[in-house]
Amino acid sequence: MLLIAFGATMALAPPPRVDLVLDASEARAALVILRKEEARQPVTDADWSALFATVPYQWLRAREASMGRAFGDDDFRAFLGSAAMIARRPALEATLDAWTRADMRALAQQALSYLPEGAVIRARVFPEIKPKTNSFVWRHGEDGPAIFLYLDEHESRDQFANTVTHECHHIGLQSIEAEQQRLLAGLTPKVKTTVEWMGGLGEGEAMLAAAGGPDVHPHAIDDSASRARWDNDMEHFNGDLLALQELFVDILDGRLVGDSAIQARAAPFWGYQGAWYTVGYRMSTIVEKRFGRPAVIRGIVDPRVLLTLYNQAAAEHNAGGGEYLSTWSPDLLKRLLNP
């Protein structure tokens, strides 16, 4: 009876919140070919077949095809056979070795520390040697999402870890989408659309999660130029907040209708690290320092909470003098909270 009870308990155990798997098979297979080319040894059909059969390569081909982009095996052969790629082989190999020593579970747990208890992170991480230098998250059909990362020899293991944690925060937030939709149920269409677009502030929230806390510079692991650029962008916080407010008001007032029109207006707020990043990050850090991390998490789930708590903290800050912080219009908050 004890064994049966134990088995039943095990069967009812919830699945783990973290299932983050690093798959470097594509990069390793490409490095085998580059080493042979560097040593002027013949690259066999088996070498190419091993590369083309890897999951990261197959998913990359599928992703490019889904976007109408040409991506053929022959093109990839030419790419790996170039003198420039052969010359990069030692640096790429060293970088991959460094990246693969990162603790995937720890990175996912750090992202979860800025998400509610119901959030889960189940994804694959693909360091890839590929022609395009972009990195992105993409879902292959019904399979879990994958974080595709261009293998860049100028990116340290810490920078790799920061990027993975940032993207894991987005993935974890997507896992509670049903909960967020329940929070928005009953809102008028315009208010619902506005709150959904306020989710762009998640870029700044993911930066905070990747940094690990409000007292860590979000570009602490980067060079001085990157830190200086971020610090300069943060000086535009007040104006960026007001620009986002205009976007939200225009959606509420019906001056912006439809995803394409809103996307065109909101696109500059992404940029390199535009207002979605700067405003989302600074609001979150201010709220965490004043009200604690659980308050930030509530604001991550429902952006209206973040705006409300930020206004309270900013009002206290402004009353004490020093640097002035822009706040959200009381009328905007009223329309969002009492539709």
97 alpha-carbon distance from chain centroid:
23
> Does position 152 have pLDDT exceeding 90, yes or no?
yes
141 and 243 in a single domain? The answer is: no
What tokens appear for 178 in the block? 């049903």
Owner of token pair 């100028």: 154
Same domain membership, residue 271 and residue 187: yes
User: Quick one: average pLDDT of 179-195?
Assistant: 94
Residue 125 lies in a domain: yes
The three-state secondary structure class of 139 is: strand
Please tell me the predicted confidence (pLDDT) of residue 8: 52
CA distance linking residue 169 with residue 207, whole number of Å: 9
Asked if pLDDT for residue 194 goes beyond 80, the answer is yes
Domain stop point among 149, 175, 201? 175
Q: Is residue 1 part of a domain?
A: no
- Measure Cα distances from 25 to 56, 142, 302 in Å: 7, 21, 39
Model confidence pLDDT, tens digit, residues 7-66: 554 556 667 899 999 999 999 999 999 999 999 999 999 999 999 999 999 999 999 999
Considering the domain boundaries, does residue 216 fall inside one?
yes
Do residues 134 and 51 both lie within one domain? Answer: yes
Kindly report, residue by residue over 54-107, the tens digit of the pLDDT: 999 999 999 999 988 888 899 999 999 999 999 999 999 999 999 999 999 999
- List, in sequence order, every residue forming a beta bridge with 125; answer none if it has no partner: 22, 147
Are 161 and 206 in the same domain? no
Are residues 183 and 312 both part of a single domain? yes
Q: Do 127 and 82 share a domain, yes or no?
A: yes
Query: Based on the domain organization, do 184 and 68 belong to the same domain?
Result: no
Residue 227 within any structural domain of the chain: yes
Q: Count of domains in the chain?
A: 2
- In the predicted structure, residue 1 carries a pLDDT above the cut 60: no
Of 158, 175, 192, the residue that ends a domain is 175
Answer yes or no: do 82 and 45 share one domain: yes
Let me know if residue 207 belongs to a domain.
yes
What pLDDT is recorded for position 211?
Answer: 97
Q: How far apart are CA 264 and CA 243, in angstroms?
A: 14
Tell me, what DSSP letter sits at residue 250?
H
Which residues form the domain of 247?
A: 178-337
Collapsed DSSP state (helix, strand, coil) of residue 274: coil
pLDDT at 11: 55
pLDDT at 333: 97
What are the structure tokens assigned to 136, written together? 């992105």
Question: If phi over 0 gives left and psi between -120 and 50 gives alpha, with beta otherwise, what is residue 215?
Answer: alpha
Same domain, 276 and 291: yes
What angle, 0 to 180 degrees and rounded to 10, lies between the N-to-C axes of helices 25-38 and 45-52?
160
Distances (CA, A) of 153 to 3, 33, 157, 272, 291: 53, 18, 10, 21, 40
| Exposed/middle/buried for residue 42 (C-beta within 10 Å: 0-12, 13-18, 19+) | exposed
The residue from 127, 146, 175 where one domain ends is 175
Report yes or no on 114 lying in a domain.
yes
Q: Looking at the structure, do residues 149 and 206 belong to the same domain, yes or no? A: no
In a domain, 319, yes or no: yes
Residue 284 near residue 205, CB atoms below 8 Å: yes
* Tens digits of residue pLDDT in 218-244: 999 999 999 999 999 999 999 999 999
Residues 295 and 319 in one domain: yes
Q: Are residues 124 and 163 in the same domain?
A: yes
Q: Pick from 165, 69, 63: which is nearest to 123 by CA? A: 165
**Domain membership flag for residue 130:** yes
pLDDT level of residue 3 (50, 70, 90 thresholds): low
Percentage of the chain beyond pLDDT 70 is 96
* 80-86: Cβ within 8 A, 24+ apart: 80/30, 80/33, 80/34, 80/37, 80/129, 81/37, 85/34, 85/129, 86/34, 86/37, 86/38
Q: Locate 280 and state its tokens.
A: 């989302």
